[in-house]
């Protein structure tokens, strides 16, 4: 046993500390390269080699892989939390985590690309953490109508991103929610409005949050667009959440809900077909909403925290 451990330590030291190739180690010890590879693996398993990775933002990579596998995501970013982490610090950390991925995607966008921005606290946290890329000259498009009463409003966030990217921003000059479906139909007949919606559908990247119909965390309630009784009615219809203002149930279905006929913005089917869609959302009050959005395949990448991720997997029946 002692001799075996000495051999393992020798191979590991040559490879990891002196950076000698596996083929050169094999020649030195008069064994095959495949034997060296097996010895390195055994050294890991026996604890002779310990790998320590310093991650700037603590992440739960295992939960990320499970979310990707269960929900068919392209990628996932799960913040590893501490028990004493305040909620506002939590959202900021999730936003920075999402921004690291979004920023990397932005750097790879070709000239003439465009980004769509929705609304919400998660979107605000992510775009606030985005680094400046003035030379990119990427246009930024508003994905849904405005609220006019919150700092997390879509036109304000679109302008913020445009300033960071050195591009133009395109407003959608309409409220996110109108009183009657007929009012939306009137807007749809305006050529400027149709062009704005078409521009929103055609973006290369979308950044969005996921909203809930729970009173304690509803952006529509905070903005004064819906009342508590309105939210109660939506819950009675089976609605659990919204993305880009469009409401859906826990299976991700959005058809048949009257309120969606009064929403100004892109459809969820449009969101599904955008090449890169990042959703930033967390919190136990939003678990049903996030699950519905995942089942509807309305995002390619999800940024959240470990508590929310575990609750999602539990609710989906894959604890």
- pLDDT tens track of the chain, all 319 residues? 657 888 898 899 889 988 999 999 999 888 999 999 999 999 999 998 887 767 677 899 999 999 999 999 999 999 999 766 556 588 999 999 999 999 889 888 888 899 999 998 899 999 999 988 766 778 999 999 888 766 577 888 888 999 888 888 898 888 899 999 999 988 888 888 889 999 999 999 999 999 999 999 999 998 899 999 999 999 999 999 999 999 999 999 999 999 999 999 999 999 999 999 999 999 999 999 999 999 999 999 999 999 999 999 999 997 6
Residue 165: its pLDDT value, please? Answer: 87
Tokens 């295992």 correspond to 62
Print burial letters for 162-180: b (CB count within 10 Å at least 16), e (below 16).
bebbebebbebebbbbbee
**Residue linked to tokens 């965390």:** 217
The reported pLDDT for the residue numbered 87 is 60
Evaluate whether 125 touches 89 at the Cβ level (below 8 Å): no
Neighbours of 95 (CB within 10 A): 25
d(CA 157, CA 120): 9
Q: Walk me through the domains of the chain, giving residue ranges and CATH numbers.
A: 2-45 (1.10.10.10), 61-315 (3.40.50.1360)
pLDDT at 108: 87
**How long, in residues, is the chain?**
319
pLDDT of res. 135 = 67
- pLDDT value of residue 86: 55
From edge to edge, which strands make up the β-sheet containing 246-249? 211-212, 239-243, 246-249
Listed in order, strand segments (DSSP E) in the chain are 75-79, 114-117, 139-142, 169-170, 205-209, 211-212, 239-243, 246-249, 276-280, 301-305
d(CA 44, CA 48): 6
pTM: 0.83
Partners of 243 in the beta sheet?
A: 246
Q: In the prediction, which pLDDT does 301 show?
A: 96
Question: 3-state secondary structure string, 126-177?
Answer: HHHHCCCCHHHCCEEEECECECCCCCCCHHHHHHHHHHHHCCCEECCCCECE
Q: Are 87 and 44 in contact (CB under 8 A)?
A: no
8 A C-beta contact, residue 15 and residue 40: yes
The angle subtended at Cα 192 by Cα 190 and Cα 196, nearest 5°, is: 115
CA-nearest of 307, 312, 318 to 60 is: 307
Per residue in 104-143, pLDDT (tens digit) is 898 888 888 999 999 988 999 999 999 887 667 789 999 9
The closest alpha carbon to 225, from 153, 140, 316, 138, belongs to: 153
Q: What is the pLDDT of residue 117?
A: 95
Burial (CB count within 10 angstroms: exposed 0-12, middle 13-18, buried 19+), residue 266: buried
Q: Using CA atoms, how far apart are residues 245 and 177, in angstroms rounded to an integer?
A: 8
pLDDT at 310: 97
Q: Which pair of tokens denotes residue 134? A: 């003035």
- For residue 85, the model assigns a pLDDT of 58
Count CB atoms within 10 A of the CB of residue 227: 12
pLDDT of residue 188: 83
What distances in angstroms separate CA 59 from CA 78, 200, 304, one per listed residue?
A: 6, 32, 10
């Amino acid at each position: 046993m002692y001799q075996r451990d000495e051999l393992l330590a020798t191979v590991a030291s040559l490879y990891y500390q002196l950076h000698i190739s596996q083929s050169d180690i094999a020649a030195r010890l008069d064994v095959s390269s495949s034997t060296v590879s097996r010895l390195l693996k055994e050294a890991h398993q026996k604890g002779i080699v310990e790998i320590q990775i310093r991650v700037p933002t603590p992440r739960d990579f295992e939960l990320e892989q499970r979310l990707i596998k269960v929900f068919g995501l392209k990628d996932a970013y799960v913040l590893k939390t501490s028990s004493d982490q305040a909620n506002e610090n939590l959202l900021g950390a999730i936003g920075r985590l999402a921004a690291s991925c979004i920023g990397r995607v932005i750097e790879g966008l070709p000239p003439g690309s465009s980004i769509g921005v929705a609304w919400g606290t998660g979107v605000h946290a992510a775009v606030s953490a985005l680094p400046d890329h003035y030379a990119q000259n990427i246009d930024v498009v508003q994905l849904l109508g405005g609220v006019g009463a919150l700092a997390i409003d879509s036109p304000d966030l679109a302008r913020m991103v445009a300033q960071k990217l050195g591009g133009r921003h395109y407003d959608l000059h309409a409220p996110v929610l109108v009183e009657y479906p007929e009012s939306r139909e009137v807007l749809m007949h305006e050529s400027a409005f149709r062009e704005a919606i078409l521009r929103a559908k055609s973006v290369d990247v979308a950044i969005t949050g996921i909203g809930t119909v729970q009173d304690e965390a509803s952006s529509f309630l905070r903005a004064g667009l819906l009342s508590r009784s309105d939210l109660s009615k939506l819950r009675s219809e089976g609605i659990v959440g919204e993305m880009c203002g469009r409401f859906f149930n826990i299976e991700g279905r959005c058809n048949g809900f009257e309120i969606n006929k009064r929403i100004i913005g892109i459809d969820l089917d449009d969101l599904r077909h955008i090449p890169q869609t990042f959703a930033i959302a967390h919190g136990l009050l939003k678990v049903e909403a996030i699950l519905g959005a995942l089942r509807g395949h309305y995002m390619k990448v999800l940024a959240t925290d470990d508590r929310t991720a575990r609750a999602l997997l539990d609710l989906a029946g894959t604890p």
